[in-house]
Amino acid sequence: MAGVLLLALALAPLSAVAETWQERDDWGEIFRANEASGTLLVVDRRDGAATALVHDGERARQRFVPASTFKIPHTLFALDAGVVEDEFQVFAWDGVEREFPPWNGDQDLRSGMRNSVVWLYQHFARELGEERERDYLARLGYGNAEIGDRLEHFWLEENLLEISAEEQIAFLERLYRNELPFDEADQRLVKDLMVVGAGNDWILRGKTGWSGQLGWWVGWVERPSGPVFFALNMETPNRMADLPKRQGIVAEALRTIEALPPEA
């Protein structure tokens, strides 16, 4: 009977444990030490459990522009529609000099994800078109699924596509389990593109996002005992100077629950 209960908890959607989120005062101290304002939601699925931990639970349910975290589902859209064949296909740089040097060159899916190359995903949006973008968003139930009339900017600008930290984790959990309405091979590829760190017994997969005013860091840590999902969003009044705080805050918080080792 206990085994059945543990299995049920392990498979339970985030909404099923939403009423039992545990507010972490110590994570509030981490935010304050970093002079940051935002939220962090963590869903710990290790050992068959389903524990939701949060700093600022109210904000974790509030929707914000996803910025480049949208590259995760957007890559799935492009693969499914045949806009991109695989991670080896190269897309030629248009020769326009942009603010971030890594954007100024040919790209593939791996470099596009790693360097958050906006122009590459704007190309995907043009190829997909408004109708297919809307259809894919509706199929996923991704945030408010709204794109307005800004085909090349709807995931980058306020008051168009929006998603909450809670919804980010619900989406990531489905991706982790290969349960999204896409080919399993495409889901596995996207997860491979998301790898940003690893050790002997852990793998960190994630994606940053930044709208200019708001920063994101979402993903999960895979451990032998199970995954630990996280979604942080925070204000960035100091703009690029605030961006390293995203990963720093999450790493420090995850170490408090031993989801990441001290050296990670």
**Arithmetic mean of pLDDT, 156-180:** 97
Segment 226-235, tens digit of pLDDT: 999 999 999 9
- CA 229 → CA 3, 64, 255, 259, distances in Å? 22, 19, 13, 10
| DSSP 8-state class, residue 105 | S
Question: Structural domain boundaries of the chain?
Answer: 20-256
Mean residue pLDDT of the chain comes to 94
Give the pLDDT band (50/70/90) at residue 20. confident
From the candidates 37, 68, 111, 225, which is the catalytic residue?
A: 68
Task: Spell out a b/e string for 244-259, using b for 16 or more CB atoms within 10 Å of the CB, else e.
Answer: ebbbebbbbbbeeeeb
Give the pLDDT band (50/70/90) at residue 19. low
Segment 174-201, tens digit of pLDDT: 999 999 999 999 999 999 999 999 999 9
Using the predicted structure, report yes or no on whether residue 264 has a pLDDT greater than 70.
no
Per-residue pLDDT, 263: 76
**Arithmetic mean of pLDDT, 23-50:** 97
**Arithmetic mean of pLDDT, 27-50:** 97
Give the pLDDT band (50/70/90) at residue 9. very low
CA angle 148, 56, 18 (to 5 degrees): 80
Q: Where are the alpha helices (DSSP H) in the chain?
A: 2-11, 25-33, 57-60, 71-81, 109-114, 118-140, 165-176, 184-193, 244-256
Dist. CA 26–CA 69, nearest whole Å: 26
- CA 110 → CA 120, 189, 190, 191, 236, distances in Å? 11, 10, 9, 11, 26
68 in catalytic set: yes
| DSSP 8-state class, residue 237 | T
The residue with tokens 């998603």 is: 163
Using the predicted structure, report yes or no on whether residue 166 has a pLDDT greater than 80.
yes
Instruction: Tell me how long the chain is.
Output: 264
The residue with tokens 């996280």 is: 230
- CA 101 → CA 95, 98, 113, 238, distances in Å? 12, 7, 15, 21
The topology under which CATH files domain 20-256 is: Beta-lactamase (3.40.710)
